[in-house]
Amino acid sequence: MSELTQLGVQAIRDGVAGGTFTAREVAEACNAAVADAATLNAFIVTTPDHALAAADQVDADRAAGRPLGLMAGVPIGMKDLFATRGVQTTAASHILEGFTPQYESTVSQRLWDAGAGMLGKLNLDQFAMGSSNETSHFGDVVSPWRRSGSTAGLTPGGSSGGSSAAVAARLAPAATGTDTGGSIRQPAALTGICGIKPTYGRCSRWGIVAFASSLDQAGPMARNVTDCALMLQAMGGFDPKDSTSLDLPVPDWSGALDANLAGKRVGIPREYRMDGTDAAILKAWDDGIGWLKDAGAEVVDISLPHTEYALPAYYIIAPAEASSNLARYDGVRYGLRDLPQGANLQDMYAATRAAGFGDEVKRRILIGTYVLSAGYYDAYYTQAMKVRALVARDFAEAWDKCDVILAPTAPTAAFALGEKLSDPLAMYLGDVFSVPASLAGLPAMSVPAGLDGAGLPLGLQLIGRPLDEQGVLNAALAIEQRAGFTAQPDRWW
């Protein structure tokens, strides 16, 4: 494979701008890598022509001396949760199979406007519900990573598993992800790449197939902190079409990156030292503490007392919203319609949903419907919303003592495909470290910290104050510079 596929966002952009290579050469190299990696099942559809057309436009702009965008010449993967005009958008579900939007999501449009091209639509857990990319109607995504000496298929994490696999396998320098309870950070951690979920409201949700509206946030996944910062700048910004979008300018995060943490305090939440966390993860956490001290930060112990209630609250709130958000998939206007002989309207709804939704999606619709039902609403939904407020208050109080929080991203390294699929609770427990920041709407990022004994990547999570993506990125950069993480999966596919 060509060396161009080894390059990240910034390197490609600068190489294209400087004339070291053309955008078309990069697009061709990535298209070829995508075509050669069908085994990973990272893409639901590939769009090589889209990537080439965008590249040709950038090359033409450069030749004509026109200004180039932040992502000029960078081909990326687009999670198949973002509506893309004229390109099938499925949320990895059967019920939306064949659905081709006539509109483009705000985030994807901003990326195209910044000069990026699309290699294809990336696989994911169905409707972004899952932590292993095993709930997709289009099959599991297989991680490019394997345990040393093993050929067993591992999870790339989820729900942005196609994104993490594609970036880790050097099919794309970067990809979009979405994060509702950890769907950017956990797959990034499991595949040795970076991913940031910005503050809720930074990225428009317009045109993203909704899972849980009060939690869903888009963000970039790439192989280094700088690339994440650059791409987030291209993705973010106010959108009047999303009422929850923040009406704030997008800072120049990449330009302000600074790994010198002198004067910064890093909080270590004691409640995150949980039973069941891998020893290797705990060691990586300790390493991280050392690296941040080395970067000049002061390390302080903090308490986030409601942490243990965050996960159960999340698994009430997210399904509750999902049960309502997914009601529109009824077989009437688009996507799948299953109309048995002689069926009436209710029969058609039932048949369409039975055939169109996977088991995990059905499970969450049922949970969500239950917790919103008369007689249960206060005990579940109202209580969960109170917990959510308490979790947010924990963080708000922590910011009196620290500027950024360091914690593991996930309790384990990548697990085997099939290992947890039959045990949803075990699967849900994997989100224990990522969910609190989602409930509080805070910016949070995963950055590679090292490898475990089996040669699998481990990630560390940085959580910041509302709107302080810069603080998160800076601390992640300090870790990146000291962790010396250069490992990449050996090509077996």
Partner 1 sequence: MTDSSYRIHGATGDWEVVIGLEVHAQVTSNAKLFSGAATAFGAEPNAQVSLVDAAMPGMLPVLNRECIRQAVRTGMAIEAQINRWSRFDRKNYFYADLPQGYQISQLYHPLVGEGSLTIEADEKAGIPADKVIGIERIHVEQDAGKLMHDQHPTMSYVDLNRSGVALMEIVSRPDMASPAEAGAYLRKLRAILRYVGSCDGNMEEGSMRADVNVSVRKAGEPLGTRTETKNVNSVRFVMAAIEHEARRQVDLLEDGGAIMQETRLFDPGTGTTRSMRSKEDAHDYRYFPDPDLLPLELDQVFLDECRESLPELPDAKRRRYVEELGLSDYNAHALTAEVETARWFEALLLTSAAAQNKVLANVAKQAANWLLSELMGALNKAGRTLDDGAVTPESGAELLALMGAGTISGSIAKQVLDSMIATGDAPGVIVEREGLKQESDSGAIEAAADQVLAANGDKVAQYRGGKAALFGFFVGQTMKAMAGKANPQVVNQVLQAKLGPAGEA
Tell the smallest beta-carbon distance from residue 188 to partner 1 (Å).
Answer: 23
Q: Is 378 in the site for partner 1 (CB under 8 A)?
A: no
Is 159 a residue that touches partner 1 (CB under 8 A)?
no
Residues 416-475 that bind partner 1 (CB under 8 A): none
Contacting partner 1 (CB under 8 A), which of 125, 179, 321, 338?
A: 321
Q: Does 379 bind partner 1 (CB under 8 A)?
A: no
> Could you say whether residue 207 binds partner 1 (CB under 8 A)?
yes
Q: How far is CA 193 from CA 19, 45, 146, 187, 248, in A?
A: 28, 23, 15, 8, 28
Q: What's the number of CA atoms in the CB half-sphere (13 Å) around residue 352?
A: 24
**Residue 262 or residue 374: which is nearer to partner 1 going by CB?**
374
Q: 3-state DSSP call for residue 342?
A: coil
**Contact between 315 and partner 1 (CB under 8 A)?**
no
Establish how many alpha carbons lie within 13 A of residue 303's alpha carbon, considering only the half-sphere containing its beta carbon.
2
Residue 57 burial by CB count (10 A; 0-12/13-18/19+): exposed, middle or buried?
middle
Measured in whole angstroms, the distance separating CA 411 from the mean position of its chain's CA atoms is 17
SS3 of residue 392 by DSSP = helix
Q: Does 103 bind partner 1 (CB under 8 A)?
A: yes
By the 8 A CB rule, do 159 and 167 touch?
Answer: no
Which residue in 164, 183, 434, 446 is the catalytic one? 183
* Residue 183 known to be catalytic: yes
Among 19, 65, 262, 333, binds partner 1 (CB under 8 A): 333
| Both tokens assigned to 266 | 């890093």
Among 66, 270, 273, 328, binds partner 1 (CB under 8 A): 328
Residue 118 and residue 38 in contact, taking contact as beta carbons nearer than 8 Å: no
In whole angstroms, how close is the CB of 244 to partner 1 at the nearest point?
A: 6
Decide if residue 290 touches partner 1 (CB under 8 A). no
**Please, which residue, 209 or 302, has the CB nearer to partner 1?**
209
Tokens 């910005």 sit at which residue? 198
In eight-state DSSP terms, residue 194 is E
Question: Is 204 noted as a catalytic residue in this protein?
Answer: no
SS3 at position 421:
coil
Nearer to partner 1, 206 or 357 (CB): 206
Contact positions with partner 1 (CB under 8 A) in 74-93: 82-83, 89, 91
Query: Which of 240, 276, 290, 340 touches partner 1 (CB under 8 A)?
Result: 240
Could you give the CA distance from residue 340 to residue 441 in angstroms, rounded to a whole number?
44
Q: How far is the CB of 333 from partner 1 (least distance, A)?
A: 6
Applying the rule CB under 8 A, the residues between 346 and 375 that interact with partner 1 are 346, 349, 369, 372-374
Q: Which of 160, 191 has the CB closer to partner 1?
A: 160
Shortest Cβ distance from residue 307 to partner 1 (Å)?
23
Catalytic residue list contains 159: yes
| Residue burial 380-401, b: 16+ Cβ < 10 Å; e: rest | bbebbbebbebbbebbeebbee
**Residues for the chain: how many in total?**
493
Q: Which among 108, 143, 159, 245 is annotated as catalytic?
A: 159
> Taking CB under 8 A as the rule, does residue 383 contact partner 1?
no
Instruction: State which of residues 18, 19, 151, 243 lies at the interface with partner 1 (CB under 8 A).
Output: 243
Q: Which of 345, 354, 355, 366 binds partner 1 (CB under 8 A)?
A: 345
Instruction: Characterise 127 by phi-psi region: left (phi > 0), alpha (psi -120 to 50), beta (else).
Output: left
- Longest CA–CA span in the chain (Å) reads 72
Per CB under 8 A, the list member of 241, 273, 401, 491 interacting with partner 1 is 241
> Which residue lies nearer to partner 1 by CB, 117 or 319?
319
Spatial distance between the Cα atoms of 349 and 332, rounded to a whole number of angstroms: 8
In the complex with partner 1, the residue whose CB is nearer, 30 or 212, is: 212
In 3D space, the residue among 8, 74, 13, 468 whose CA is nearest the CA of residue 251 turns out to be 468
Active site positions, annotated: 79, 159, 183
Sites of contact with partner 1 (CB under 8 A): 82-83, 89, 91, 96, 99, 101-103, 105, 205-210, 212-214, 240-244, 320-321, 323-324, 326-328, 330, 332-334, 345-346, 349, 369, 372-374, 377, 381
